[in-house]
Structure 1
């Protein structure tokens, strides 16, 4: 991903500034949460990848909520290959990970599997300053926290070639993620009218566990001699989340007040998707696409709140709440692609989507729906033997289901939130102009209306947030990247992104500039030793009404071949321990400042064993560094 022009990995994985990314592995959609995409991609061994295609101009065949696609195709050569890696790391605490990848292929079958297992510890500190001007209340809090991190991930992909023109594909992914023994200790000083009133100590203990299962089954069939085809796919996903939490609060005032409670959160989501795409190719290089997609999502959230009185648990029905939502989405699309001359093509697409949501919190039952017609056009041509493209598209940013929950939820002593049953999707209109060559360039303009904004309010001394459809955004981005070979042994890759971000609501405007720098130097030393240096920087900017402060860090890595099959790796992440998150906003007479610093400085040691066997896959496995990785990018 580091060599793809329009991808940013500084604050999570983003394509053209958006994290709504679809992952496709061997032509099968991967159902995975946004925060797990990077770890999933890192779990795929480099040697097993045939090519990676990053698409930043989605067409009408793609779910309208997605802004980009990362397509990964694993090797299809006859034979077998695999890798085993053992890694240990230190970031004020010791941790380790084990990774394994296996691949086997013959004329009828392809089997691809990865497994990763990691254990570690994490500690962090937070600072929060909250000023509720209407109440003349000031909360100054400091938090220290630590937890045990556990993660297991399994992937299994099987392709069966029924005939030379048809195949059946299966993909299974299991992800098990735990934040175990998550302790948060917070000390808060509370002042009224700038005069210290009392202090509050809060102790929280979490045990957060998520289990995700996803299954994808796809049938592909070529229906004529020029490549027309039909694809039918079925997807299923189950996400389970459990978080038992105990809370103890001590108010140091006269008299001293001690309060304890237990909060049990559970969620269970089922996702079902049916998708079919038919394309007809003509002898004059025209292509017509037709497809439909139906998805059903069943979300169930449970939350029980118990006060501890005289060592007894008494359920508090004011704060306990359950929420259930069923989401139905039906879509239909067409796309027509045709050439203009020998070097140019135009693609015209339209997509119709209908969304119906039915939800309740046991007391109130409600529903909403919306329908949209979405259009896009893409123009591609050759300029100086390189690609020039122009794209215009409109798409949606759908509402996260839990934002519909109208129940008042008290999340801490100082904060609460409530949903909005009347929310509707945001509409996004985007124009792109880009050029790919020795220097890659992209200009993107994005306009968003019906923006979903979380609005803070001071209600009786409690910061209460509620989402609203309000305001519009005008965002301009410029991306450029250069890959330059300084010498045979020295290579440099530079990615730059600039932006002008504007957000407007009635009587208020927020705007800022945005800058991002990503610089990589790689040195190819004697005896196949490889050394890399990476520098990341993101400037101060505003996300809606919130100011995000700059962030930067430097990473180093070194790879030393021990033998034909073994490789030693050493990496040093954030060597100056400079990475942190820092933000603030002033809105509705509320000032909120947040600072977070975790164990970002980390040194790790790894040893990797790789093998390749078969008449078509034997090769020197040490040649799997940056050049091989770039050769796989399309």
Structure 2
């Protein structure tokens, strides 16, 4: 059962002070008395560049291990990567977005040797040519090009133990012969995602508490097939197919609910119920993309065309039960049963065109466009069964809602880039987007049966980079973006948690706007300072609304988590960091420390979907937080076969939309052994078991809300990887699917 309360994930960065050695900052090579130096980490006009081919961390690592050592990047679950200060990190390979789902992408990165990588580019503020939303950043992995033909591959098996045991396996194969390249992957696994919840809300007179567990069993299988063929010396075509299936049957929620009533601080009564929910769900995600690329001249000008189709299906059936104490006080008697059938089907057709013209004197002109046509079909059915005190069933209440959402997006961008000198370069661009959407509901009240929205957005972009001298560099970026709601957020379905606790999606959610500014200073390509400011308007989030009501002359209190647009928010941060190697490259580290200030301004008291009136929820609180992160790799022997990893992050308490998020921290350790073509690894995450989410909110009205969510992040993973074949195989050209921007909104 997917987490019913969506909590913003927060990833941050930090700092270390250490002795500097010039030889650690650059790779040095002497040729006939001439010393050549190569920078490992540097800032270009719109991105940070980490030249891993010259880094001591590369040898024996996987791509995922290498990304964890890249400045500004972090992971807290050994699955997902985040850029400091960004909501999400999109993975690109050779300038093209990876056309695979998150789980397959993780396996791909964990099974690709780091020796195949030339450099990693971190784009904190993407330009107008990128189809990204909100404050998303980009990680671009550039592969080495001079590699021979042949076949290579790898097999990986892993076993993880937290509250439950889980297993994963993958098989990857790469083949290149002349003009033809084929890349394929098959991976799967099974696991149970456990969560423990404590939910409290109420006033000084009535309080609700729900305590219990969620167990979500999952079986997954997926893979991809990429085919690349060189038609001529200047043109290529490629076909990519991705597939993923998940089966989650017998997911359960088991919560003990306590309602206590007070009068002048004295306990009046206590009532108990039990929530026992069961859910069966399965989903399928298939996408195919056809790409054609032609090089137009020797300067690098090219034309790129993409056409894609995406099909996503999710079927969810849940049985939600409220139990009351029976004669033996064993919660065997039904009070209420709600059966929900919540299917969703998404079909998307997409196309993109990109034309890049390289001119003499270091001018680059780019123009392009995209088109997305999406249809989502949500046919929700709710059946409510009530029972009297003797356990007899009352007449069934039916609530059906067939919601269909059609959306067309037209986009056009234009960018101009110029290198004015060896020291100064700049880039300016804009993206213009037209969105036409229509939502229709067969069973809603007349005012909600047809929801039509048409809006246009002009999204400018600007950046410049100035190298003051060989030791000092300064850059600035500005970007305007928007975030469209995910398709599941628009489906007006209510997900039952307990009798008085639920989440409500909203078809009236509109796109939000984001304005990002970033100023960066670097010293000796090792030390950096980043100042960032982000302004969010019409923030799409979840708001906890509370109200008191009477049920059979008994006062109760209800809490609903409403998906909606909620005011404005500002985030300001300052971060200093270092990326270096020490002690003859026995220690490689990146440390960051920063301070973040959040300004929240939002008020809500009405569910926009149902019109239900709640008490005012106000979030106009500011907060200032310290954030620290350190990632370290220690080489334990001269032969570079044993490696110890020590990673740690800490984030101070800070105000988010749901309330005050208390501090988080995690210590992760890893030990790895390279032996010929084999790699043996042990990873222990959240050693101190401190990565547990707690959120608390107090309103001036006396309403309060508390959430404690433990996802059992302390775990140990043992893995074995075997690489076979010619490891110098030239990788298949990775192509950005025209439907990638849409696929991200299905998650």
TM-score with structure 2 length normalisation? 0.76
Task: Report if aligned partners of 2:281, 2:317 keep a CA contact under 8 Å in 1.
Answer: yes
Distance 1:560 1:30 in 2: 29
Residue aligned with 1:317, SS: strand
Deviations 1:254-283 (A, max 9, x none): 996533332222111122221101111111
User: Pairwise mapping of residues 534-573 of structure 1 onto structure 2 (< 5 A)?
Assistant: 534-562=647-675, 564-573=676-685
* Alpha-carbon distance, 1:73 to partner: 4.5
Q: Does 1:316 align with 2:382?
A: no
Deviations 1:504-534 (A, max 9, x none): 2478621111332221222212242111111
2:236 aligns with one of 167, 175, 189: 167
Distance 1:478 1:10 in 2: 21
1:45 aligns with one of 107, 112, 115: 112
1:366 aligns with one of 451, 454, 459: 451
Deviations 1:421-471 (A, max 9, x none): 554322211111123511133211111223335443334332234455443
1:522 alignment counterpart: 633
Distance 1:103 1:50 in 2: 18
1:271 alignment counterpart: 348
2:359 alignment counterpart: 282
Residue aligned with 2:532, SS: strand
1:597 alignment counterpart: 710
User: Pairwise mapping of residues 177-192 of structure 1 onto structure 2 (< 5 A)?
Assistant: 177-192=246-261
* Alpha-carbon distance, 1:419 to partner: 5.0
* Alpha-carbon distance, 1:250 to partner: 1.2
Residue aligned with 1:578, SS: coil
* Alpha-carbon distance, 1:148 to partner: 2.3
2:72 alignment counterpart: 6
Task: Report if aligned partners of 2:380, 2:493 keep a CA contact under 8 Å in 1.
Answer: no
2:276 aligns with one of 192, 196, 203: 203
* Alpha-carbon distance, 1:70 to partner: 2.4
2:612 alignment counterpart: none
1:339 alignment counterpart: 419
Deviations 1:394-431 (A, max 9, x none): 11122334444567775541134555555432221111
Residues 426-435 or 5-14, more deviating: 5-14
Distance 2:665 2:420 in 1: 45
Distance 1:456 1:471 in 2: 14
Task: Report if aligned partners of 1:126, 1:143 keep a CA contact under 8 Å in 2.
Answer: yes
Distance 1:14 1:36 in 2: 15
Distance 2:189 2:686 in 1: 20
Distance 1:36 1:566 in 2: 23
Distance 1:576 1:202 in 2: 31
Distance 2:437 2:564 in 1: 17
1:503 alignment counterpart: 600
* Alpha-carbon distance, 1:75 to partner: 5.4
* Alpha-carbon distance, 1:499 to partner: 0.8
* Alpha-carbon distance, 1:130 to partner: 1.3
2:223 aligns with one of 116, 132, 154: 154
1:60 alignment counterpart: 128
Task: Report if aligned partners of 1:198, 1:252 keep a CA contact under 8 Å in 2.
Answer: no
Distance 1:557 1:408 in 2: 42
Distance 1:60 1:503 in 2: 28
Task: Report if aligned partners of 1:492, 1:520 keep a CA contact under 8 Å in 2.
Answer: yes
Residues 324-333 or 572-581, more deviating: 572-581
Distance 2:728 2:492 in 1: 62
Distance 2:480 2:323 in 1: 52
Distance 1:160 1:26 in 2: 17
* Alpha-carbon distance, 1:106 to partner: 2.8
* Alpha-carbon distance, 1:557 to partner: 1.3
Counterparts in 2 of 1:490 and 1:29: CA distance versus 1, 3 Å: closer
1:221 aligns with one of 273, 294, 299: 294
Counterparts in 2 of 1:5 and 1:529: CA distance versus 1, 3 Å: closer
2:182 aligns with one of 101, 104, 111: 111
Task: Report if aligned partners of 1:494, 1:518 keep a CA contact under 8 Å in 2.
Answer: yes
Task: Report if aligned partners of 1:43, 1:116 keep a CA contact under 8 Å in 2.
Answer: no
Counterparts in 2 of 1:468 and 1:122: CA distance versus 1, 3 Å: closer
Task: Report if aligned partners of 1:586, 1:592 keep a CA contact under 8 Å in 2.
Answer: yes
Where structure 1 has 5 or more consecutive residues not aligned to the other structure, the ranges are 618-634
Counterparts in 2 of 1:41 and 1:199: CA distance versus 1, 3 Å: farther
* Alpha-carbon distance, 1:203 to partner: 0.8
1:624 alignment counterpart: none
2:484 alignment counterpart: 398
Deviations 1:84-123 (A, max 9, x none): 1122232243322112222222320222222222223343
1:424 alignment counterpart: 510
Q: Does 1:456 align with 2:548?
A: no
* Alpha-carbon distance, 1:17 to partner: 2.5
2:573 aligns with one of 466, 472, 477: 477
Task: Report if aligned partners of 2:71, 2:590 keep a CA contact under 8 Å in 1.
Answer: no
* Alpha-carbon distance, 1:615 to partner: 7.5
* Alpha-carbon distance, 1:500 to partner: 0.8
Distance 1:163 1:311 in 2: 76
TM-score with structure 1 length normalisation? 0.89
Task: Report if aligned partners of 1:5, 1:440 keep a CA contact under 8 Å in 2.
Answer: no
Counterparts in 2 of 1:243 and 1:525: CA distance versus 1, 3 Å: same
Task: Report if aligned partners of 2:182, 2:228 keep a CA contact under 8 Å in 1.
Answer: yes
Deviations 1:218-251 (A, max 9, x none): 2111112222111111222222112221222112
1:627 alignment counterpart: none
1:69 alignment counterpart: 138
1:388 alignment counterpart: 474
Distance 2:619 2:501 in 1: 24
Distance 1:593 1:275 in 2: 46
* Alpha-carbon distance, 1:474 to partner: 1.9
Q: Does 1:439 align with 2:533?
A: no
Task: Report if aligned partners of 1:478, 1:497 keep a CA contact under 8 Å in 2.
Answer: yes
Residue aligned with 1:39, SS: helix
Distance 2:84 2:141 in 1: 19
Aligned residues: 612
Task: Report if aligned partners of 1:361, 1:407 keep a CA contact under 8 Å in 2.
Answer: no
Task: Report if aligned partners of 1:6, 1:479 keep a CA contact under 8 Å in 2.
Answer: no
Distance 1:89 1:583 in 2: 28
Counterparts in 2 of 1:284 and 1:302: CA distance versus 1, 3 Å: same
Counterparts in 2 of 1:98 and 1:453: CA distance versus 1, 3 Å: closer
* Alpha-carbon distance, 1:37 to partner: 8.4
Deviations 1:122-152 (A, max 9, x none): 433211111156xx43111111233323222
Task: Report if aligned partners of 1:420, 1:467 keep a CA contact under 8 Å in 2.
Answer: yes
Deviations 1:151-191 (A, max 9, x none): 22212222111112111122222122233321221101112
Distance 1:32 1:315 in 2: 44
1:586 aligns with one of 698, 711, 714: 698
Residues 248-257 or 185-194, more deviating: 248-257
Distance 1:603 1:531 in 2: 15
Counterparts in 2 of 1:125 and 1:248: CA distance versus 1, 3 Å: same
Distance 1:375 1:27 in 2: 21
Counterparts in 2 of 1:297 and 1:397: CA distance versus 1, 3 Å: same
Residue aligned with 2:620, SS: strand
1:620 alignment counterpart: none
Distance 2:395 2:237 in 1: 54
Distance 1:116 1:26 in 2: 23
Distance 2:686 2:514 in 1: 36
Distance 1:349 1:601 in 2: 45
1:630 alignment counterpart: none
Distance 1:192 1:291 in 2: 63
